[in-house]
Structure 1
Amino acid sequence: MSDVLSPDAALAAEIERLKGAFPKTRELYREVCALLFFRHGITPTANRLYQLVRRGSMGTPTAVLGEFWAELREKSRVRIDHPDLPTDLGAAAGELVATLWTRATASAEAALDALRAELEAQQVEAQQSVVAARDELGRTETALEQRTAALLAAQVEIRELDKAQAEGHAQRKALEAELERMRAGLAARDRELVEAREGFARELAKQREAAERAEERLRASEKRALLEIDRERNTATKLQKELDDATRRADRKDDDHRRASETMQAQLGDARHQAGVLQGRLDAVQAESLRLQAEMMTLREAETRARETRPSAALAASAGARKAPRPTRSSRAVPTAKPATRRKKTV
């Protein structure tokens, strides 16, 4: 910190010292007048004296200031002494010089009063500008609060959209898992159907082989029956019965396998229908997810544009502040982000 005091601080320190040295109000005002005029080169005024001392009434510094100027004029009176100059002429010359000094002082005071009036007018104009700037600041702060509220609402909408998107994503994952499970079940049923068909084909081949062997045995028996008709007739009848039983069993097994195949085909159709329904639901969820993502991107772009327009509003506010005293608070314009309109969900 610098040890050199500013002029105002030095003046305030000297006045505090004078307050301790001169307890009487009029003497204190007289000393402050001399301090301002002779040491600091400041023309004392009643208002300035009262602001510095703040004692007594407003009439006290006015009276003391008048006495100070009268005493100063008396002491500054010019006396011209010359041994060859008559007394009355010397007094007249002194009065002339005093008159010139008085008129010069009056002219300086008049100029000072005009300057003071001009400064007061500028002060009034500056105060009006401050009031206008404060009103503008109030309107700006109100708009800022409204836009901040709109921005907060947009942020809440974004969070809701994020939540809805997360829920849609979870639902889509669940549907995809269900679809995979249905597909796995359908594949398992397809494998079972293939295995059943293969088993049926193997069983049918066995039955056909058995029938062929029975026919071969029958033909051999017929050949032997040509030689032993009577002895082999009973054997031929027995073989015929066995052939009929085997054929009936083969027919029954064929019917059973056919019914099982039809049942598996019906189950396969139901499974494919369920898979189609689930695929439709999955497409709807994916479309809703894409819509939510588009709305979220729209809101984020609006927020980005709002952030980009803040510097221009701040520059405009600073340009207005250069024409008037700078307010204590800074304002920034925040763009209003319009909430995204939700479209109707179509399934």
Structure 2
Amino acid sequence: MSDVLPDETRLAAEIDRLKAAHPKTRELYRDVCALLFFRYGITPTANRLYQLVRRGSMGTPTAVLGEFWAELREKSRVRIEHPDLPADLGAAAGELVATLWTRATASAETALDALRDEVEAQRVEAQQSVVAARDELGRTETALEQRTAALLAAQVEIRDLDRAQAEGHAQRQALEGELARVQAALAARDRELVEVREGFSRDLEKQREAAERAEERLRAAEKRALLEIDRERSTATKLQKELDEATRRADRKEAEHRRASDAMQTQLGDARHQAGVLQGRLDAIQGSLAKTENKAR
């Protein structure tokens, strides 16, 4: 492990230096091929080149690698056909270079096929995730529409409750006005009764001879006044009971209105939050799919 780590570190440093020196992608891949093969004794493959350089598409390192092997074979052939080189040594060297080139090409094609299969599997998986996310988003949107419809219905019901509450309030005000009128009438009757009694008392002092008739008239008047007062009081008691009942109904409707409104607001907030989370997941999956397709190209 102590020998491998420094080699990897030096290799990474050399590739960084080559990246800074070569703005063109094909030239950079060609120099990395030469660096791996001649300096580090590593047979370059398209997959290995792409992992080290990370530029362009997968077709770029494959094409550059093919040119590299073709150029190497051509240069090797020139050296092999040198007139001072023995024929058997030239044949052996040519066979070695041809074998090396064939194995390297096969290895590169195998690595490229494996990478393509991996990218295709990732693309299919990402597409399936996108379809699933879209289905889930559709179900969420349907649920949100249903809850929105329920909220609108609740808002209509709330308006009806508000209208009923306003009507109850108007009815209560009318009952309160009627009660005030009755109470004023009772006070007037009480004052009238006092005046009648005082009048009869004065008449009694003045007309002793008509005391019996005056007393009878007084009793009759008091009886009528008391009956009238009892009727007015009964009416006032009935109106007060109706007013209390209307007040209780209005309070109950107001409480129901508040509970329904709070519940609907909570459901709508949850649905919007869930739709936002699902939209975020969909955006992330689509971004991953785009990156995967760029790699495949």
Contact 1:80 1:91 in 2 (8 A): no
Does 162-171 or 101-110 show the bigger shift?
A: 101-110
Partner of residue 86, structure 1: 86
Work out the CA distance in 1 between the residues paired with 2:240 and 2:122. Answer: 80
Q: Which residue of 2 aligns with 1:299?
A: 260
TM-score w.r.t. the length of structure 1 is 0.57
Residue matched to 1:56 = none
Report deviation, 1:80: 0.9
Would the aligned equivalents of 1:182 and 1:271 in 2 still touch at CA under 8 Å?
Answer: yes
Name the residue aligned to 2:39: none
Q: Which residue of 2 aligns with 1:257?
A: 218
Amino acid corresponding to residue 188 of structure 1 in structure 2: A
> Shift in Å at residue 86 of structure 1?
2.6
**Alignment identity in percent?**
56
Measure, in 2, the Cα distance between the counterparts of 1:189 and 1:289: 34
Deviation at 1:201, TM superposition (A): 0.9
Could you tell me which runs of 5 or more consecutive residues in structure 1 were left unpaired when the two chains were aligned. 1-9, 12-39, 46-64, 209-246, 328-347
Match of 1:276 in 2: 237
Q: Which residue of 1 aligns with 2:59?
A: 44
Structure 1 partner of 2:294 = none
TM-score (normalised: structure 2): 0.65
Q: Which residue does the alignment assign to 1:134?
A: 134
1:71 and 1:279 map into 2 onto residues whose CA distance is: 106
- Partners of 1:71 and 1:297 in 2: CA distance: 79
Give the length in aligned residue pairs.
230
- Partner of residue 181, structure 1: 181
- Tell me if the contact between 1:80 and 1:93 (Cα under 8 Å) persists in the aligned partners: no
State the shift of 1:321 in Å.
Answer: 5.0
Which residue does the alignment assign to 1:73? 70
Paired residues for 1:198-213 under 5 Å: 198-208=198-208
> Shift of the alpha carbon at 1:269?
2.0
Measure, in 2, the Cα distance between the counterparts of 1:41 and 1:321: 27
Q: Which amino acid is 1:268 matched to?
A: I
Name the SS of the counterpart of 1:80 in structure 2: helix
Q: Secondary structure at the match of 2:253?
A: helix
Q: Distance in 1 between matches of 2:207 and 2:56?
A: 138
Q: Residues 321 and 41 of structure 1: is their aligned pair in 2 closer, same or farther, counting only changes over 3 Å?
A: closer
**Does 2:149 correspond to 1:149?**
yes
1: distance between equivalents of 2:131 and 2:272?
A: 25
- What is the rounded CA distance, in whole Å, between the counterparts of 1:324 and 1:119 in structure 2? 15
Give 1:123 shift: 1.0
1:124 aligns to what?
124
The 1:197/1:326 distance shift into structure 2, 3 A limit, reads farther
The secondary structure found in structure 2 opposite 1:172 is: helix
Contact 2:200/2:218 (<8 A) preserved: yes
Structure 2 residues not aligned, in runs of 5+: 1-23, 26-54, 289-297
Residues of 1 paired with 2:205 and 2:69: CA distance?
147
AA in 2 matched with 1:121: A
